[in-house]
Amino acid sequence: MSDLLQGLSKEEREKARATSMPDWVDPMLAKLTHSYFSSEDWIFEQKLDGERVIAYVEPDGEVRLMSRNKKHINDSYPEIEEGLAQQALAGCILDGEVVALDADNVSDFQKLQPRMQASSRQESEESGVKVYYYIFDCMYIAGHDITACALLSRKELLKAGVDWHDPLRWTSHRNKDGLDYYREACQKGWEGLIAKLVLSPYIHGRSGNWLKFKCRMQQEFVICGFTDPEGKRVGFGALLLGFYRGSDLVYAGKVGTGFDDKTLEDLHEQLEPLERATSPYDKGEPEKKGVHFVAPEMVCEVAFAEWTADDRLRHPRYKGLRRDKDPRDVHKEDESERADL
């Protein structure tokens, strides 16, 4: 057994399974709750507004950065690749979030867009957007699958397995005081918190052992069309949004704010080849005047105030495109991820 694992209790060491490093592991996903709480059985971390990245540091030191839908994204974050190669133990799999920070040091998904949408490594490096990799879990290290180990044991191994200097950052947490931390998070303008059960293993999929405490409503939507621009507006007026309920694509309204001129023009250029004559919606329809439907192939992130009774968004604001989510996996978060506590 590796010296690294000797620091764990006998019970936790027995949970670590000696095996070759896998090529892929499905990430653990949190469920949404509106029942906020404090508990000594849980820890509470900042919910970061960036791109989820699984980092594979191979035994030979090669680094693979992968999105949650298995896209290879090293070219978007070359400094993260270099940092992991120099600062992480070879032969490990790490879980975290790549973020860009605003002037108040708050993670900002919109600010990350030039990195996520860059077409080459050079474009990423020349974007001027500084990024950090906040790492919060470890699934494999020192020749062992540690997903069966308790969360705090995995964090102990993670802390020991990385030399913590920028652009790699430790994701700090608080014990017990979830409610006070949640109020503080909302006051600071964070997206929210993630509550994690201390004794939980790493589950490959969505689990109630991780819970989202959201300060603001924000989620992914399928882009299903756009409207004509009016006045001096360029590109388009608003995006038509949707989500899946079962196999049905449901209309969720329009978003027309959160765009600058360059985003309007770039998005319009990407959407034009996807235009189709008929509506992609199975339930609900926008007014047809000035509407252009598109094949439901692109996903974007939208912040909003609340849902209406008829599945429409109130006061939506565009945040950016997502490349890490299949359109068919976009559901109304309250329905698909809600945890009953």
- Asked whether residue 17 falls in the same domain as residue 106, the answer is yes
The domain of 303 spans 217-336
- Asked whether residue 76 falls in the same domain as residue 150, the answer is yes
13: Cβ–Cβ under 8 A, 6 or more apart, which residues?
Answer: 1, 5, 6
pLDDT exceeds cutoff 60 at 280: yes
Q: How many domains does the chain have?
A: 2
Answer yes or no: is 119 within a domain: yes
Q: Between the CA of residue 129 and those of 52, 65, 147, 290, what are the distances in Å?
A: 17, 18, 33, 36
DSSP 20: P
- Asked whether residue 13 falls in the same domain as residue 151, the answer is yes
- Asked whether residue 57 falls in the same domain as residue 161, the answer is yes
- What is the three-class DSSP state of 273? helix
- Asked whether residue 169 falls in the same domain as residue 241, the answer is no
At 220-256, the pLDDT tens digits run 999 999 999 999 999 999 999 999 999 999 999 999 9
At 315-332, the pLDDT tens digits run 999 999 999 999 999 999
- The rounded mean pLDDT for the chain is 95
Q: DSSP for 193-224? A: EEEEETT----SSEEEEEEEEESSEEEEEEEE
305: Cβ–Cβ under 8 A, 6 or more apart, which residues?
Answer: 217, 313, 314, 315
Segment 167-177 shows an average pLDDT of: 95
- Asked whether residue 242 falls in the same domain as residue 153, the answer is no
- Asked whether residue 168 falls in the same domain as residue 229, the answer is no
Contact 36, 341 (CB under 8 A): no
Confidence (pLDDT) at 335: 58
Q: Is 10 a catalytic residue?
A: no
At 72-85, the pLDDT tens digits run 999 999 999 999 99
**Could you tell me the CATH number of the domain that includes residue 105?**
3.30.470.30
Nearest Cα neighbor of 46 from 150, 187, 145, 192 is 192
- Asked whether residue 227 falls in the same domain as residue 154, the answer is no
Contact 88, 94 (CB under 8 A): yes
| Cis peptide upstream of residue 316 (ω within 30 degrees of 0) | no
Of the residues 149, 173, 197, the one at which a domain ends? 173
Of the residues 138, 155, 173, the one at which a domain ends? 173
**Residue found under tokens 């809600």:** 338
Check 31, 47, 254, 325 and give the catalytic one: 47
Confidence (pLDDT) at 340: 46
- Asked whether residue 57 falls in the same domain as residue 152, the answer is yes
Answer yes or no: is 181 within a domain: no
- Asked whether residue 139 falls in the same domain as residue 271, the answer is no
Percent residues over pLDDT 90 in the chain: 94
At 51-67, the pLDDT tens digits run 999 999 999 999 999 99
Nearest Cα neighbor of 275 from 223, 321, 201, 328 is 223
Alpha carbon distance 84, 74 (integer Å):
11
Of the residues 173, 196, 229, the one at which a domain ends? 173
238: Cβ–Cβ under 8 A, 6 or more apart, which residues?
Answer: 226, 227, 254, 255, 256
Contact 197, 266 (CB under 8 A): no
Answer yes or no: is 250 within a domain: yes
Confidence (pLDDT) at 112: 97
- Asked whether residue 222 falls in the same domain as residue 331, the answer is yes
**Residue found under tokens 């509470």:** 44
Answer yes or no: is 39 within a domain: no
In this prediction, residue 341 has a pLDDT band, given cuts at 50, 70 and 90, of very low
Answer yes or no: is 230 within a domain: yes
**Could you tell me the CATH number of the domain that includes residue 301?**
2.40.50.140
Alpha carbon distance 232, 220 (integer Å):
28
- Asked whether residue 10 falls in the same domain as residue 153, the answer is yes
Answer yes or no: is 10 within a domain: yes
Answer yes or no: is 184 within a domain: no
**Residue found under tokens 């989820």:** 52
Confidence (pLDDT) at 256: 97
Lowest mean pLDDT among 12-16, 215-219, 297-301, 334-338: 334-338
Answer yes or no: is 308 within a domain: yes
